[in-house]
Amino acid sequence: MSETQPLPDTLRRALADQPHGALCVAYSGGPDSTALLHALAQLPAARARGLRALHIDHGLHAESDAWAEHCRRFCASLDLPCMVRCVAVATQRGEGLEAAARHARHAAFAAELRAGEILLLAHHRDDQAETVLLKLLRGAGPEGLGGMRERRPLGRGELWRPLLHAITRAQLHDYVAAHELPCIDDPSNADTRLARNRLRHEILPRLAAYWPQAVDSILHSATLSRAAADALRAQWLAAYATLHDAANDSLDAAGWLALSPALREPLLDHWLHAHGLPAPTTAQRAQIERQCAARAGTAPCVRWGRTELHVWKNRLWAHALPPTVDPAWQARWRGEPLALPDGGRLMLRDEHARLPTPLSVRLRQGGERIKPAGNAHTRELRDLFQQAALPPWQRLACPLLYEGDALVAVADRWFSARGRELFDEAGSRPLWLPAK
């Protein structure tokens, strides 16, 4: 069984070098995570650190319930606890099913990880080579070409890939065969319509036939790219601190555009990821850069998937594309917290206050006018919005408050004399929380 020793030996050394933190294995039931979980279960040092398994049920396959039960049984045979977490895979974000499942899975990992706990993933050398090639084909810079990080913060704990640099897929499968371990065969892993599977089953074997050291060379380049990315990170983080306005979460467009591409691209990605948004493609980046030079008075918008990036007031603003809103929507309101159709909220600042008479909350149709209290003239909302610098993407979702057919308030911004009278009687003012 000498061929099975690289895995337990690697894990034994890794645990000795990383002595702190409880251990949780991301366990899919496939050969890679099965080998990792079984090998750790044989190590007293791992069991002493509260070793457990976490299985994510995506609900995307007819056999997903049976796979979850398989994982429970296998963990029971090892006398290890197994938590099964069901997730809903959102496919409305404009990304592929594979990426959507990955986002749902990692969100569940972050939510379930206990304070100080370490989540172990079974990614190995071949996975890293595939990741680097995929990033290369998508035009990534040093950060992407550095591949997966061995360790990074996750939720209340940390993510760790202890096999990333030392173990191959073949070694894991040899371990499974030698120990006759039961594994799940997910048919999607053989679907070569998926980019990673095409690389795995068709492209990399051909590369290895001509360049036997292809994986070693790819991983060496990844190590160099990671070092370069880490060196650049200190520079673009310093620039980010200058360009980012924490009060409104926007970026100085001209300052961002003036950066070198090596700093500009990772800074933008960092900002977008902080919003929970995906990075743009190379073509979309070029479009953003062109729009930064748009003439004054315009508000260009670049969209990809469910993401919108606006260039407005010489700054960059980004948010998820809001849901489609019925312009005829309306609701009866007396001051209780009200969910708006775009995801925003309307309430009274005093949560216990109520209006003396119910108002109708509606959305803009165009052409609305109001005479603000104390103002001699009736004003078009379009002019008020422009003067108040209300972001264009928030204007259609701005709640308008009507008493009958009379517009008495525009969110928490402008009130007619009658509107002021109503809110004075309620003893509170409205509060509008736009969708983010």
Q: Give the pLDDT score at 4.
A: 45
Cβ count near 389 (within 10 Å): 8
Q: Cα(111)–Cα(234) distance, rounded to whole angstroms? A: 29
Q: Give the pLDDT score at 93.
A: 55
Which phi and psi (to 5°) does residue 301 adopt?
-135, 130
DSSP state of 361: E
Q: Cα(391)–Cα(317) distance, rounded to whole angstroms? A: 9
| Residue carrying the six token digits 């005479």 | 371
Q: List CB contacts of 370: < 8 A, sequence separation 6 or more.
A: 378, 379, 381, 384, 407, 408, 410, 414, 416
Amino acid at 38: H
The CATH number of domain 246-320, selected from 3.40.50.2000, 1.20.59.20, 3.40.50.300, 3.40.50.720: 1.20.59.20
For the chain, which residues make up each domain, given as ranges?
A: 2-217, 246-320, 330-433
Q: Give the pLDDT score at 436.
A: 75
Full pLDDT tens readout for the chain, 436 residues: 334 479 999 999 999 998 789 999 999 999 999 999 999 999 999 999 999 999 999 887 888 899 999 999 999 999 999 999 998 887 655 567 777 888 889 899 999 999 999 999 999 999 999 999 999 998 888 999 999 999 999 999 999 999 999 999 999 999 999 999 999 988 888 888 888 889 999 999 999 999 999 999 999 999 999 999 999 999 999 999 999 999 999 999 999 999 999 999 999 999 999 988 889 988 999 999 999 987 776 789 999 988 999 999 999 999 988 778 888 899 999 999 999 998 899 999 998 999 999 999 999 988 999 999 988 899 999 999 988 989 988 898 899 999 999 999 999 999 999 999 999 999 999 999 998 7
Q: Cα(187)–Cα(190) distance, rounded to whole angstroms? A: 6
Q: Is the dihedral of CA 238, 157, 96, 221 positive or negative?
A: positive
Q: Is the dihedral of CA 112, 103, 118, 76 positive or negative?
A: positive
User: What CATH number is given for 2-217 in this structure?
Assistant: 3.40.50.620
Amino acid at 234: A
Closest by Cα among 5, 1, 11, 3 to 124: 11
Q: DSSP letter string over 244-296?
A: EETTTTEEEHHHHHHS-HHHHHHHHHHHHHHTT-PPPPHHHHHHHHHHTTPPT
Q: Cα(369)–Cα(379) distance, rounded to whole angstroms? A: 5
Q: Cα(48)–Cα(130) distance, rounded to whole angstroms? A: 34
Ramachandran category for residue 94: left, alpha or beta (phi over 0 → left; psi -120 to 50 → alpha): left
Determine the 3-state secondary structure of 360 from DSSP. Answer: strand
